[in-house]
Structure 1
């Protein structure tokens, strides 16, 4: 639900307003969980959290893309997934150290800090221009680029793009099939759906049970280690994205994921025919652990962060709120489906489950090679004009 309303919310109250609204259900959700007397409060808290996160997951990457200079947009766009990965690692670590009620209270801190912090950051210049607040638009862009920077060229590009978007009437569903809309929609939504279909949440959410199935005794510690490795890999992506480009990192990432998932699937199939007390079973368990780590590294290296960056870059201004909301919704629905089916699939066949994820990852690699363009070093306006 948060994903559905996120685009229209940003359209009407801006990125800062949307984030401020999202922070409130997040705080209330964690408080409901921390004081829960029965499952009703837990469900209520989870629903409030989901609503807030749905808004944030669209608003943040779009805001970062709109305020970033072209030569730093990739690295700054990766700060969001990097922060998400850091949060997951902290959740793993704190979950081993503090009771769950205390963990829920700790969860209120980021959004409690976010609300006053929003008063100290500028609104997106592109949103201000779209709202016809031209004085605020130029002032915001000047603050973002530095007081000594000449922003004349960028101001003119943004004004031209916004004027063109504002001339258009409301987009009808049939008109989304135009080339200038069709390809950005396919790419933005496709990458975010394929990101989840590769099974990353199945591995992260069920890491403990997967490691137990692999024969690892201290599965919680192993899950923390995998999270930390994912954090380092995402950090490497942040550094490389504006140097190497989005497309090559996505190709390397999806190829590595495919090989890792294939190895995991083969190992789990082999283990079904090996006695649990044998040396071979122990060796296969260790190899499966390394394969899972390799999968998390290769996912974090590209497919974890870059689909959100590309979605925020390629969607045209005129359909960004509608299409961005839909892309975010598609991502979360896919995540929901993978998370809900993972336990059932793993109970059916661990090897079969990872074989399915391997096929998806192979298709992802083909999708990137055939269709995904390079957006490094281009302004948002140049990217939009390239689809015309």
Structure 2
């Protein structure tokens, strides 16, 4: 249902003025670092789910040979096995938005962590055949870490939001890296059971952290909203200004009609949707899931030790992601993602050269070193920005009334791209090893252009201020 111009102008005026008042430094709303322990605890509990998510992403790389042998899989069958994770994530993306808006951020975390536990327990069953393994791999991914960056962005003060939200990606790559390393020394079924540990931490921690104050305010639970906000900012913090801003913003949003999926393509929402969807497309089609899922095989094809290469890869991505998270709120989102996309382009070019030399039987002593260098440049570049920043920007740029629907759409696009990349990677490598990385290089070059011209900087702004700026920009375009 469309909103007429007069209503839209009133909405923009209501959003723009009261929400642009200065909020000061520090936490942004009067709480000290000592009083922010609940924000840190809540973030830790949330990102334990991200860690488990990473364990699933990294699960297939070190276990590929064992899974292929135990289940007697062909290359095409293993491609289905590996990509079923992302297919499960796509289905989850379709349903996660309405569920998140209905049961809350904590509720959806509890629900899907229980599903993950069921998937891990049954994946570790030694008696299951191929069809059951596929089902439980699917079940392990039938949830989305959209809830993590959204939850963190809604509880964190503005000066911490970037680095805390970036912890989502840090914990994902930590889970990937630990799976890479542990998977070298334990069976693939035992690796699944080890993944129960972060699930247990998440389930236990959810009982001690508050719900998102913005979600509570949106659902009309104003007393609970103030209690949760006070817990997050500290018992002595003055939350009156922040509470007023959130209430004013949500009151304005509540005056709008309920948003359906097709409403996301209205002119008022289209800039935010295109930015989020575009970033997700470039994040996935640039090759990360192909490299991540099959890194051991890549090193073997390049003539390099898969064990040494995988461990180096695992350590590097954790270190660089940590660096990216620590500088997120200082360097800004846009500079980090531009640096990241440029590094991805370079890594693809170097890897393509290495495989070209191998295919032509030229400089065979140099080619393996070049291939490893290119892959490490690639993963380091992805970890510094392209891994975390699209999720952070997605959690920041959507108005709260479309956050569930828009987040589901962006996440669906992300995981369709992840499935497409992971499913086609083996076939592309069979077609042309160097051609595969030339293709990825071209996509990352397009990503640089997209970020330069379309992606805004959101550093240092409250979620409400970001929406005010987007509304103002849209008005000026008219």
* Same fold per superposition (TM over 0.5): yes
Shorter-chain TM-score bucket reads over 0.9
Task: Determine helix, strand or coil for the equivalent of 1:123.
Answer: coil
Superposed, which structure 2 residues align to 1:213-232 within 5 Å? 213-216=301-304, 218-232=305-319
Task: Determine helix, strand or coil for the equivalent of 1:71.
Answer: helix
Q: 2:114 aligns with which of 24, 28, 48?
A: 24
TM-score normalised per structure 2: 0.78
1:81 alignment partner in structure 2 = 169
1:274 alignment partner in structure 2 = 361
1:203-242 deviation line (CA, Å, top 9, x unaligned): 11111111111110x2033112102101101000111000
1:270 Cα offset (Å): 2.6
Taking the aligned partners of 2:397 and 2:355, their CA distance within structure 1 comes to: 39
Superposed, which structure 2 residues align to 1:174-185 within 5 Å? 175-185=263-273
Q: 1:148 aligns with which of 236, 255, 274?
A: 236
Gap runs ≥5 in structure 1: none
1:313 alignment partner in structure 2 = 396
1:358-386 deviation line (CA, Å, top 9, x unaligned): 01000000000111111000000111121
Task: Determine helix, strand or coil for the equivalent of 2:184.
Answer: helix
1:323 is aligned to 2:406: yes
1:172 Cα offset (Å): 4.8
| More displaced 10-residue stretch of structure 1: 239-248 or 111-120 | 111-120
1:68 Cα offset (Å): 0.7
Superposed, which structure 2 residues align to 1:234-273 within 5 Å? 234-273=321-360
Taking the aligned partners of 1:326 and 1:149, their CA distance within structure 2 comes to: 37
Q: How many residues align?
A: 380
1:212 is aligned to 2:303: no
> Do 2:286 and 2:443's aligned partners in 1 also have CA atoms closer than 8 Å?
yes
1:95 is aligned to 2:178: no
Task: Determine helix, strand or coil for the equivalent of 1:77.
Answer: helix
1:12 is aligned to 2:102: yes
Taking the aligned partners of 1:241 and 1:140, their CA distance within structure 2 comes to: 26
1:49 alignment partner in structure 2 = 140
| More displaced 10-residue stretch of structure 1: 143-152 or 313-322 | 143-152
> Do 1:202 and 1:339's aligned partners in 2 also have CA atoms closer than 8 Å?
yes
TM-score normalised per structure 1: 0.95
Gap runs ≥5 in structure 2: 1-90, 472-478
Taking the aligned partners of 2:98 and 2:126, their CA distance within structure 1 comes to: 32
RMSD: 1.3
| More displaced 10-residue stretch of structure 1: 142-151 or 119-128 | 142-151
1:160 is aligned to 2:248: yes
1:112 Cα offset (Å): 2.1
1:129 is aligned to 2:129: no
Taking the aligned partners of 1:178 and 1:386, their CA distance within structure 2 comes to: 18
Specify which structure has the higher proportion of helix.
1
1:8-43 deviation line (CA, Å, top 9, x unaligned): 111111000000000111011011111142113211
1:368 alignment partner in structure 2 = 451
1:202 is aligned to 2:290: yes
